[in-house]
Structures are given as structure tokens and as C-alpha cells.
Amino acid sequence: MSVLLIAGSPSERSRTAALLSAAGQRLKFRGAQVETLRVRDLPPQALLLADFGNPAVVRATAQVAAADIVVVATPVYKAAYSGVLKVFLDLLPQTALKGKTVLPLATGGSPHHMLALDYALRPVLQSLGAKNILPGIYATDSQVVVNPEGGYHVDEDIADRLDDAVNTLINDHIAPTLSNAGRFSNVHFSQVRCSV
């Protein structure tokens, strides 16, 4: 199971990055192959001018295509997800998330911006063809504390919600594979041979 973490924060160190890291660590612990794509590291000119042929944009698009699961994290600014994430999502093909499960994460200054996940980000993820969009996890500044050394602490409530989301992702992607292991493939009736 391959997971792509998309960091949609324009800042290198942020509460959004810490929340995304907490999700990624939980997924790695459960055996997922996890990669991180920091949109802020893509060339700004390529993003703003929609340069689909830029090598960095091509690589980023290929990372999205290769992932089974996508975790998207963004800070909320003015009741919407970040502009840097918006320009990246606009560069993706219309079916970039087809067949994928997506977990949206967001951070914001107050609980009043919580609905940005459902009313701003979710419709875009759906328009990109996501098969399943899990309930988003929104954390306020007080729920994700970043210390000056770069470490962070995630509030117990947020940690529990991350654990639940990771369990859902694991159960939806690994459990079905395991339940089919060791079974015979289906045989059409015309291929059945019987001797008495």
C-alpha cells in the first residue's frame, strides 16, 4: 500500500506539516510505504503558469498517479485551503485521484474555519475522481503545538482521530487483500469437467 502525503502549506515548519507528519508516522508504523510531496518545493513559476511539462511538475503528477492513498494537508486561510495547494491541484489531470482514497487534513486558528474541509476542499477532491474521501480532520492551533526545535505535540483528541483514520485506511486496503489470499480463482461453468 503506497501513500502520498501532500503538504499544502507554504511554510516549511508549520502546524499543518506537523499534523501531516503525525499521520505519516502512524501509516509507516502500520506498514505503509509513505512518500511526501511538499508543494512549496515545486517551482513557483511552473505552478503559477500551469507549466504541465516542467520536470518537477511531471514528477509530482507521477507521484500522485502511483499512490493508492493520498493524504492532503492544508492550512485554512480566509475560510479556504491554501493558494499553493490550489495551484497544484489545478495542474493535476481531471482523473488524478480516480480509484484513490483521500484523507483531508487542515489546521486553522479557530474552530470557525472547520467547514473549509467540506465546503472548499472536498468538492475539488471529488472533481478529481477520488473513490473515497474520508471525513476530514481539522485541528486548531491549540491542538497542534510546534516547539522551536521542530518537534510537535498533537492533542489527544486529534491523535485519536488520526488513529481512527489510519485504521480505516489500513482496513480498507490491506484487509480485503488478505481476505482474498489463498482463494481459488473463479471458474466459468463451461470450464468445469467432471468424471464419474
136-190 pLDDT tens trace: 999 998 999 888 877 889 999 999 999 999 999 988 876 554 444 445 555 555 5
Residue carrying the nine cell digits 522551536: 148
Gap between the Cα atoms of 6 and 64, Å rounded: 9
Strand boundaries in 123-163, DSSP class E: 132-133, 137-140, 144-146, 152-154
Question: Among residues of the chain, what percentage have pLDDT more than 90?
Answer: 70
Gap between the Cα atoms of 147 and 151, Å rounded: 5
pTM of the model: 0.86
Overall size of the chain counted in residues: 196
Q: Which domains, from first to last, does the chain contain?
A: 2-191 (3.40.50.360)
Gap between the Cα atoms of 187 and 164, Å rounded: 38
